[in-house]
Structure 1
Amino acid sequence: MTSADRILTVNAGSSSLKLRLLGPGDEVLATRDSAPGDDPEALRAELRTILAAGPEPDAAAHRVVHGGAELDRATLVDAGVEEELERLADLAPLHNPQAIRGMRALVAVAPDLPNVACFDTAFHAGLPAAARTYAVPAGWAAGGVPLRRYGFHGLSHAYAGRRAAELLGASPADLRLVTAHLGAGASLAAVAGGRSVDTTMGFTPLEGLVMATRAGSVDPGLLLWVQRRLGVGPEEMERALDRESGLLALAGTGDMRAIVAAAGQGEERATLALDAYVHRLAAAIAAMAAAMGGLDALVFTGGVGENAPAVRERACASTAFLGVGLDRARNARGAPDTVLSPSDAAVAVVLVAAREDLELARQARALLG
């Protein structure tokens, strides 16, 4: 047995905690999903429960949304790493603080267990300069954090790209993929030769597609106008763009299943919300393909990507000009880890079940040996 065969993966989200204990062959030995909130003792109790449910892990791997410019690969957690994550907390206020709490809680209940931080931003750390650069005044960089596009959902994009290549019987090095992580948060990545060369999220997870409660990309001039005319301060603006916008603002709910059902009944707000969502999604898929000079496969993953066949069908219809082909019967069945396109499609469509836990474990093992 190597020093890191059994891995406890810790995915502490804004409102949920997902724990998985994976064995040497990535078999799931124990699993626990909960919502402990901000109560430290409740968090420690959840960790004790899963540690008691299976064999002792060799290490823990924590999902961290924002690693900034310095934390660009999986790393062992120490006081310096925690300090840097705290410094970056306001760039991912719904996620980074929860990840830090998860690390500290695990140290409290299992002090000898190595903790590895794995960053969603790391997959995009090598973005070409043209893709990562904002055309803003250089003096703004005095804030101490490089003002660049970081990208997010990297753990999901990395896994989805590799798994799609397996399902297509091809090497990642030979493929140009657009991976579409569509969940409450949503982003695309242009993955060429296994590397991210463009993505839709930027400095924070607010940029890009329409999401459940996030607006996605908005004209900065509109935001300045609202601030001046309505007296909206930065905290209120952040809350509105992060938690009160997106599908929720357009349809009254961020639940895509409810929106698709209501749109099917002709409900006006739901129809507009679905139309706007797909319009932005299709345009972004085309932009990602342009960044790679073409496209070999479109990969759907995440809660919406996996469970909303109507969204997949409409997105594929809107990008048919790129050669995207979809088998409607396969799409309706929606079996996970399946090629959804006909064999003669110029651009394949692949459905991949999101498994960020597998990517967390892979990175932890690679670091620890």
Structure 2
Amino acid sequence: MNVLVFNVGSTTLKYACIDSEIEDTIASGLVDRIGQPGGDAINHLIAAEEAIQNVGLQNVHAIGHRIVQGGSLFPEPTIATAEVLTRLKTLDTLAPLHNPSARAVAEGLTKMTAPQVLVFDTSYFASLSPAAYRYAVPEDWYSEHAVRRYGFHGTSHQFVTQKAIDFLGGHEQTKIISLHLGGGASATASIGGRAIDTSMGMTPLEGLVMASRSGDLDPAVVLHMTEHAGLSPSDVREALNRRSGLFGLCGEPDMRAVLGRRQTGDPAATLAIDIYIRRIVKTIGSYIAVLGGLDALVFTAGVGQHSTEIREMVCQSLGHFGISICPQKNETCRDDPSDLSSKNARVRTLVVATNEELAIARLVRKTLL
């Protein structure tokens, strides 16, 4: 079965056509700067239709869509029907940068004969306990308005966690913290491939510092900016999602550029990195406490897999937890997974390449067969 996987970003559409039986990628590509001046497509549906033309309609047996937010409505992959897509629309406000565009693609392709399966970033976190997913807010906020932690990047966290367990020869009690560090960033604590806690919350805005998202902050900040600074709720939403994080701290969302400026002594870039690292280290420490120990720390995604400096800065503050990496291994890691651990480390530190498209293709095949 050839599965065409669509991974929709806010202004991008990544696609891959994968033979799900032998797990071989037949074709792949990226449509960039969607809806922007000089971009590759005017909207995500047009981008998806161009991808189908590139792959060849005859080569597509099924379509898998990465959907960021499934809420409590969709705890597992779900075949896209008119009813399902109508229910999905109710979740648009919980992931405004991603869900509406991904849903529009699925809706626009319903005319195709190939079945479509929605795979949700939130599904891996269906195992969270109420103590992990509930907020300390009025009960009716939860019961009537679904205010709770959902978690995101679940497909990636599940994929790299299982890959790490296999690499380590682990078992059902293997304790892993996975760091998905890219434009968006999140951390997840798992035991035996089962999620125990995660940093993103009701939306992908909570948690770690990201390229343009703030991560954790006092909720009274929102009240202050609306009640005293005169901003509308939509202004605040836009600022926290698109003008905060690294971008808000130093005017640059790209980690490579921020690190380059830090090396020249730029104070704003240096502060941005310090805050970024501190948030990650605090999260790791809290998760070790929740897990009652740690077997492996896993870095993945664009920054996690490719930034030697970020991995070094994260790990250098964690020696008292038994986390210690070899500088040479950190500089030269090429294998997948790569073990960066020093000889005296009590906790293994791994770099594991994520492959959300392959993970989605596997789930589509499992759902349809």
Q: Distance in 1 between matches of 2:252 and 2:74?
A: 35
CA distance in 2: counterparts of 1:351 and 1:233, whole angstroms: 42
For residues 1-369 of structure 1, the aligned pairs below 5 Å read 5-23=1-19, 24-35=21-32, 36-37=34-35, 38-39=42-43, 42-52=46-56, 56-108=59-111, 111-141=112-142, 144-171=144-171, 173-335=172-334, 336-369=336-369
Alignment coverage as a number of residue pairs:
360
Checking the alignment, whether the CA contact within 8 Å between 1:307 and 1:334 is kept in structure 2 is: no
Q: Give the direction of change, closer, same or farther, for the CA distance of 1:317–1:103 in structure 2 (3 Å limit).
A: same
Give CA-to-partner distance per residue, 1:13-54, whole Å, 9 cap, x none: 11111110111211111111112435366325323323318x
Q: Aligned letter for 2:85?
A: E
- Pairwise CA distance, 1:145: 3.6
Amino acid at match of 2:54: I
Asked if structure 2 preserves the Cα contact closer than 8 Å seen for 1:69 and 1:145, the reply is no
Write the letter of the residue equivalent to 2:306.
N
Partner of 1:124: helix, strand, or coil?
helix
Counterpart-to-counterpart distance in 1, 2:333 and 2:320: 23
Unaligned stretches of 5+ in structure 2?
36-41
* CA distance in 1 between partners of 2:50 and 2:324 (Å): 44
Kept in 1: contact 2:68–2:121 (CA 8 A): yes
* Distance change >3 Å, CA 132–CA 44, structure 1 → 2: closer
Distance 1:191 1:139 in 2: 30
CA distance in structure 1 between the partners assigned to 2:281 and 2:265 by the alignment? 22
Taking the aligned partners of 1:342 and 1:100, their CA distance within structure 2 comes to 45
CA shift, 1:8, in A, is 1.1
Q: Distance in 1 between matches of 2:254 and 2:239?
A: 18
Could you tell me how far apart the structure 2 residues matched to 1:106 and 1:340 are?
44
Distance 1:235 1:41, change over 3 A: closer
User: 3-state SS of the aligned residue for 1:361?
Assistant: helix
Partners of 1:40 and 1:304 in 2: CA distance: 25
CA contact (8 A) 1:19 1:50 kept: no
Which amino acid is the alignment partner of residue 230 of structure 1? A
3-state secondary structure, aligned to 1:107: coil
Q: What TM-score comes out, normalization by structure 2 length?
A: 0.94
Residue 167 of structure 1, CA deviation: 2.4
CA contact (8 A) 1:157 1:189 kept: yes
Alpha-carbon RMSD across the aligned residues, in angstroms, is 1.6
Moved more, 340-349 or 56-65: 340-349
Distance in 1 (alpha carbons) for counterparts of 2:139 and 2:303: 38
- Aligned 8 A contact 1:43 1:105 in 2: no
| AA of the residue aligned to 2:150 | Y
SS, match of residue 249 in structure 1 = helix
Looking at structure 1, the residues matched to 46 and 105 of structure 2 have their Cα atoms a distance apart, in angstroms, of 11
- What stretches of structure 1 of length at least 5 have no aligned partner? none
More deviation, 184-193/31-40: 31-40
User: Aligned partners of 1:28 and 1:206: how far apart in 2?
Assistant: 32
* Contact map agreement 1:47 1:106 (CA 8 A) in 2: no
- TM-score normalised to structure 1 length: 0.94
Instruction: Describe the superposition over 1:197-236 as per-residue Cα deviations: whole angstroms up to 9, x where unpaired.
Output: 0000111111000100000010112222222211111100
CA contact under 8 A between 2:45 and 2:105: conserved in structure 1?
Answer: no
Q: Secondary structure at the match of 1:155?
A: helix
Q: Which amino acid aligns with 1:307?
A: H
Alpha-carbon distance change, 45 to 74 in structure 1, aligned in 2, over 3 angstroms: closer
Q: Which segments of structure 1 move beyond 3 Å, counting only runs of 4 or more? A: none
Q: Percent identity?
A: 38
- Partner of 1:250, secondary structure, is helix
Separation in structure 2 between the aligned mates of residue 100 and residue 63 of structure 1, nearest angstrom:
10
Partner of 2:38: none
Moved more, 91-100 or 44-53: 44-53
Post-superposition CA distance 1:155-180 (Å, at most 9, x none): 00000101112222334x23100000
User: Does structure 2 retain, via aligned residues, the 8 Å contact 1:44–1:105?
Assistant: no
Matched AA of 1:79? A
